[in-house]
Amino acid sequence: MSDTKLHFQVDSRLATLLSQEYSSTEKALKELIDNGWDADAEQVTIILPNPMSDEPIVISDNGSGMTEEELRRNYLSIASDRRLRRGERTAGKNRQIKGRKGIGKFAGLMAASEMTLETRARGRLCRFTLKIQDLALVEDIEQLELDYRAEICDVALHGTTITLSGLHHGLAYPDANKLRQILLQDYGRQDDFQINVDGKRLDVDDISGSFTENEEILPLVGRVKLRFSISDGKVGLRQPGITLRVDGKSIGKPSFFGLENRDDFPLKLLKKLYGEIDADGLRDHVTAGWDSLVENSELLKMVEEFVLPLLQVAFKTQYGREIQLAQARLQKTIRERLSSLPEHKRQFADQAIKKILDKYYGEPESKVELIVSVLLEALERSDYRILLEHISEAPRKDVGTLADALNNFGLIDLAYLAENAAARSTFLDQLEVLSQNPSTLESMMHKAIESNLWIFGPEYSLFSSNTTLKRQIEDYLGGKYIGVLADKRPDLLLNENLNGEYLLIEFKRPNHSLNYTDYQQATAYRHEFKKYADSPIRILLIGGKRSADFPSDNREPNTHIMLFDQVISSARKQVEWQLRPIK
């Protein structure tokens, strides 16, 4: 045994101030446990005293311990940042250093008046004691002589033990449950760092709230054991989710096993979930680096199908009542507006309001009420309702894209855009089938297209009516048309567009090849009508094919030819272009 004089190197008052910077005794003790983590310990044992007793707090770890020189040069050097000396990670286990610039050593003095440290390394045990009353007797901590001893010990022993004695009876004694809550945030998921508090290992069931445990044999997977807790705290957990363990090793990041994709589940509640699942049967599907499972693993899918219903039941049991009460309070204030809606809208409103309540669970009622109010106002306007139905049916991942599009387009514009695009795409599918049928007549194509001139291009959509040449002329003359073509008239004539033009459309069967005779017929209609109107007339001749004798040049101005397959192909590109803002 040897006794050596050891000294600190800062003002004594600093040590006292630093020991009082922690908001609770439990957080101060965590600082001492962090030291065990930084020392590459695999196990930490904490023994807490009974309240109002004279028993000490004892924290032991099996880390690397400290040599006498480490104590002298490093540990007793206050505010010395270990990370500057040794880097950001530990030497043995490559852990991220948690030490806070060398002040954590004083954390225990928040709860106790005396701290004794014993550390073993390389066959030597070193021990010293620090007392607050001794600090008050010296002007400079360098003058403080620590009660220090060193002796030989078993070379196989290593680690550090801190004993806190003379607990402050005026302060709250450390609470084992509260300490576990704090430690779980940082250490609950560590495979190689086990913490025991008063003989109980830190575990999933230490979360304050409800605990569920379930074990089952799954086909092809084998034994699967699920253990999880749902916190009842007001604040979410820092590392929520369920850890998948295979052969005792954590695989990837904590997961929610599909719960995050449920549209009827409040996302904020995800932060209250904490657990782990053992499934050694997945080992063949674990990647070589043990960091994830192979993509699209069918065995993992079976595990997810086992876990998800259990999570849903547990959350419904713990938080279902609160969600229902929130919905009832809110619906009481909006029942009058709901009753004024048509029945089909009222049903949609009930469903949409529930989704809002679920999604914004935990938010102030005033905020949620405002969102519901906007929803109801939107439902009273059919234009907005169209868009809301699309949002309601969309997966969560698509809603963000839709929100971005709303920044660039008006709400009604986007609603019509989505609605019309779907209808136009369906119309083009049906028109294509009709055009490819050899038995389709001119009248059939006429009927299909007369109200859908958008398929020819945006400029044709500006023409405003669809009456025949005979009726158009009769309206213009104010009497009956008796011209030479009274019994023969074009298929469609539309009123003036913004440029003062008329549009004359002549349809032919899809299996008909447009020829010179068809050209003459269409231009003859135009010549006849020009007798009664001064406005320009544009001709559009449509068929399935084009004959060799159809004039390719020297045609009359404003005479156009289109083929059905070209028209449909061009129209599809229009629809795709219109949808580009929300893709």
**CATH number, domain with residue 503:** 3.40.91
Domain shared by 338 and 313, yes or no: no
By CB atoms closer than 10 A (0-12, 13-18, 19+), residue 164 is buried
Domain shared by 297 and 402, yes or no: no
Per-residue pLDDT for the chain (583 aa), expressed as one digit of tens each? 555 555 444 444 444 444 445 667 888 888 889 989 999 999 999 999 887 778 899 999 999 999 988 887 777 766 555 555 566 888 888 888 886 555 667 777 777 888 899 999 999 999 988 887 777 666 656 666 777 889 999 999 999 999 999 887 656 678 888 899 889 888 888 888 999 999 999 999 999 889 999 999 999 999 999 999 999 888 888 889 999 999 988 998 899 998 888 766 777 888 999 999 999 999 999 998 888 898 888 999 999 999 999 998 998 888 877 666 655 666 666 666 667 676 666 777 777 776 776 666 666 666 666 667 666 666 665 545 555 555 555 565 555 555 555 454 445 455 555 666 777 788 888 888 888 888 888 778 877 777 677 777 766 655 544 444 445 444 444 444 455 444 455 555 555 565 667 777 888 888 888 888 888 888 887 787 777 667 788 888 888 888 888 887 788 888 888 888 888 888 888 777 656 555 5
Domain shared by 434 and 344, yes or no: no
Q: Is residue 583 part of a domain?
A: no
Domain shared by 450 and 519, yes or no: yes
Q: Is residue 416 part of a domain?
A: no
Q: Is residue 1 part of a domain?
A: no
By CB atoms closer than 10 A (0-12, 13-18, 19+), residue 291 is exposed
- Determine how β-strand 124-131 pairs with β-strand 147-152: antiparallel
Last residue of a domain, one of 318, 337, 356: 318
How far apart CA 330 and CA 221 sit, in angstroms, is 46
CB 198 within 8 A of CB 47: yes
CA nearest to 183, candidates 336, 277, 45, 288: 45
pLDDT value for 266: 75
Q: Is the dihedral of CA 288, 291, 292, 295 positive or negative?
A: negative
Q: Is the dihedral of CA 467, 473, 478, 479 positive or negative?
A: negative
How far apart CA 275 and CA 438 sit, in angstroms, is 66
Q: Is residue 418 part of a domain?
A: no
- Domain of 503 in residue numbering reads as 427-577
Domain shared by 186 and 211, yes or no: no
Domain shared by 402 and 433, yes or no: no
How far apart CA 55 and CA 569 sit, in angstroms, is 86
Q: Is residue 2 part of a domain?
A: no
- pTM here is 0.54
Domain shared by 453 and 392, yes or no: no
| Secondary structure (DSSP) of 70-139 | HIIIIITSTT--HHHHH-SB-TTT-PBP---TT-GGGGGGGTEEEEEEEEEETTEEEEEEEEHHHHTT-S
Domain shared by 137 and 211, yes or no: no
Domain shared by 42 and 127, yes or no: yes
CB 48 within 8 A of CB 174: yes
pLDDT value for 17: 44
Q: Is residue 331 part of a domain?
A: yes
CA nearest to 144, candidates 3, 5, 17: 5
Domain shared by 69 and 190, yes or no: yes
Domain shared by 393 and 465, yes or no: no
pLDDT value for 551: 85
Tokens 């009664």 belong to residue? 532
How far apart CA 146 and CA 68 sit, in angstroms, is 14
∠38-44-46 over CA atoms, to 5°? 125
Tokens at 61, concatenated: 């770890």
pLDDT value for 468: 45
pLDDT value for 398: 59
| Cα-based distances in Å from 395 to 241, 271, 390, 408, 506 | 21, 20, 10, 21, 46
Q: Is residue 41 part of a domain?
A: yes
Structurally, how many domains does the chain consist of?
4
pLDDT value for 454: 75
Which residues, in sequence order, are CB contacts of 99 under 8 Å at separation 6+?
A: 34, 35, 38, 81, 82, 83
Q: Is residue 414 part of a domain?
A: no
Domain shared by 135 and 167, yes or no: yes
pLDDT value for 124: 93
How far apart CA 503 and CA 511 sit, in angstroms, is 24
Q: What is the CATH number of the domain that holds 238?
A: 3.30.230
Q: What is the CATH number of the domain that holds 169?
A: 3.30.565.10
Last residue of a domain, one of 265, 284, 318: 318
